[in-house]
Amino acid sequence: MVKDAKNVLVVIGIVLMGLVLLTGSIEAEDEFKVGISQLVEHPALDGAREGFIKGLEESGFVEGEDVEFNVENAQGDFATAQSIAKKFKNDKADLVLAIATPSAQAAANVLTDIPLMITAITDPVSAGLVDKMESPGGNITGTTDMNPIREQFELIKDFIPDVKTVGVLYNSGEANSKVQVDIAKEVAEDMGIEIKEGTATNSSEVQIAASSVVDKVDAIYLPTDNVMASGISAILKVTNEKGIPVFGSESGMVESGAIATKGINYFELGRKTGQMAAEVLDGKDPGEMDIEGSDNLDITINKNACEKLGLKIPSELLEEAATVIE
pTM over 0.85, yes/no:
no
One domain, residues 55 and 186: no
* Contact partners, residue 239, CB within 8 Å, separation at least 6: 210, 214, 220, 245, 246
> What pLDDT, in 10s, does the model give residues 24-58?
433 445 799 999 999 999 888 999 999 999 999 99
pLDDT in tens, 155-198: 999 999 999 999 999 999 888 899 999 999 999 999 999 999 99
Do 181 and 306 lie in one domain? The reply is: yes
15 falls within a domain: no
Please give the mean pLDDT across all residues of the chain. Answer: 91
Residue 204 lies in a domain: yes
Distances (CA, A) of 269 to 26, 56, 134, 306: 33, 13, 18, 28
Same domain? For 186 and 309 the reply is yes
- High-pLDDT (> 70) share of the chain, %: 91
pLDDT bracket for residue 7 (50, 70, 90):
low
Residues 60 and 109 in one domain: yes
Do 115 and 38 lie in a common domain?
Answer: yes
Query: What are the tens digits of pLDDT across the range 248-263?
Result: 998 889 999 999 999 8
What's the per-residue H, E or C state across 50-103? HHHHHHHHHCCCCECCCEEEEEEECCCCHHHHHHHHHHHHHCCCCEEEEECHHH
Q: What is the structure's pLDDT at 26?
A: 34
The predicted-structure confidence for 258-285, as pLDDT tens digits, reads as follows: 999 998 889 999 999 999 999 999 999 9
CATH of residue 90's domain is 3.40.50.2300
What span, in angstroms and rounded, lies between the C-alpha atoms of 40 and 20?
42
Total domains in the chain come to 2
Same domain, 105 and 248: no
Residues 226 and 275 in one domain: no
Q: Classify the phi-psi angles of 270: left when phi > 0, otherwise alpha if psi is within -120 to 50, otherwise beta.
A: alpha
pLDDT in tens, 196-252: 999 999 889 999 999 999 999 999 999 999 899 999 999 999 999 999 999 999 888
Say if residue 91 is in the same domain as residue 198. Answer: no
Q: Do 102 and 132 fall within a single domain?
A: yes
Residue 19 located in a structural domain? no
Average pLDDT over residues 84-110: 97
Whether residues 248 and 312 share a domain: the answer is: yes
Residue 7 is assigned to a structural domain of this protein = no
Residue 51 domain-assigned? yes
Report the helix count and the strand count for the chain, using DSSP H and E: 13, 12
Q: Domain span at residue 284?
A: 32-145+265-296
Say if residue 132 is in the same domain as residue 163.
no
Name the pLDDT band for 16 (thresholds 50, 70, 90).
Answer: very low
254 and 160 co-located in one domain? yes
Q: Quick check: helix, strand or coil at residue 136? A: coil
